């Protein structure tokens, strides 16, 4: 079993990265392999909303940048953690660019994330953590993921390098999340019960031409 942790910070050694390393240790103690994927040194454009992924259905985004490498990593993993710094009360633009495209391509190709275990966390100096945490969870909720929770909302406080590791309460909830996630993944892996069939999504809108 393998977990992919995506670090959505432009910093490769910032607080989000420190938390990713901390989580890696927790998962490895649970005998789960981990890869950390840093977005900070990648070139990832925003979604052009062209719909090519839904037409081509080839597990790729038509914008040929580093997002396609991330898609390959995602397809080889069994569980996912999404970590982002808070920028202006929400996730980083870098993370949003990546997740919009990643989840759109995933949806166009049978939904890689459905019925997989996932979790998320944010790193923040002071304020905006709940909003960003909610933004990350929206991707998981949309995709029918099984979400592993911590013992609080996964919002870790810190500003300068590695400061997040000194947020005892934040680190405590990450530790609980890692143990819960490892447990869920093992239960699912060992289960003989079939996962539910994926229902096709029904898409409606709110426009009524007759009014």
Ligand X SMILES: Cc1cc2nc3c(=O)[nH]c(=O)nc-3n(C[C@H](O)[C@H](O)[C@H](O)COP(=O)(O)O)c2cc1C
Q: Which residues bind ligand X (CB under 6 A)?
A: 9, 11, 14-17, 85-89, 123-128, 158-159
What tokens were used for 48? 């052009």
Q: Which of 11, 37, 39 is nearest to 23 (CA)?
A: 37
- Closest to ligand X by CB, 85 vs 150, is 85
DSSP string, 53-106: HHHH-SSS-SS-STHHHHHHHHHT-SEEEEEEEEETTEE-HHHHHHHHHHHHHH
How far, in Å, are 32, 149, 165, 205 from residue 172 at the CA level?
A: 19, 12, 10, 42
Closest-approach residue to ligand X (CB): 14
Supply the minimum distance, in Å, between the C-beta of residue 87 and ligand X.
Answer: 4
Supply the minimum distance, in Å, between the C-beta of residue 167 and ligand X.
Answer: 10
- The number of angstroms, rounded, from the C-alpha of 126 to the middle of its chain's C-alpha atoms is 22
- Closest to ligand X by CB, 21 vs 56, is 21
Supply the minimum distance, in Å, between the C-beta of residue 140 and ligand X.
Answer: 20
- Closest to ligand X by CB, 73 vs 125, is 125
- Closest to ligand X by CB, 126 vs 201, is 126
What tokens were used for 152? 């609080």
What letter would DSSP give residue 163?
Answer: G
Supply the minimum distance, in Å, between the C-beta of residue 127 and ligand X.
Answer: 5
Alpha helices, DSSP H, located in the chain: 15-29, 52-56, 67-75, 93-108, 129-142, 168-190
- Closest to ligand X by CB, 53 vs 91, is 91
Supply the minimum distance, in Å, between the C-beta of residue 153 and ligand X.
Answer: 15
């Amino acid at each position: 079993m393998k977990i992919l942790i995506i670090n959505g910070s432009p910093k490769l050694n910032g607080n989000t990265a420190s938390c990713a390393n901390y989580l890696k240790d927790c998962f490895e103690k649970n005998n789960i392999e981990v890869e950390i994927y840093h977005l900070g040194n990648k070139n990832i454009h925003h979604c052009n909303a062209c719909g090519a992924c839904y037409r081509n259905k080839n597990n790729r985004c038509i914008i040929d940048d580093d997002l396609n490498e991330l898609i390959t990593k995602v397809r080889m993993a069994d569980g996912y953690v999404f970590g982002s710094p808070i920028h202006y009360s929400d996730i980083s633009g870098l993370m949003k660019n990546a997740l919009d495209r990643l989840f759109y391509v995933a949806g166009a190709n049978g939904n890689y994330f459905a019925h997989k275990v996932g979790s998320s966390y944010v790193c923040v100096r002071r304020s905006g953590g709940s909003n960003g945490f909610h933004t990350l969870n929206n991707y998981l909720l949309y995709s029918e993921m099984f979400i592993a929770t911590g013992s609080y909302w996964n919002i870790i406080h810190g500003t300068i390098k590695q400061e997040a590791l000194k947020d005892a309460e934040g680190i405590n909830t990450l530790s609980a999340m890692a143990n819960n996630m490892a447990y869920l993944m093992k239960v699912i892996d060992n289960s003989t019960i079939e996962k539910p069939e994926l229902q096709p999504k029904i898409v409606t809108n709110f426009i009524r031409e007759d009014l």
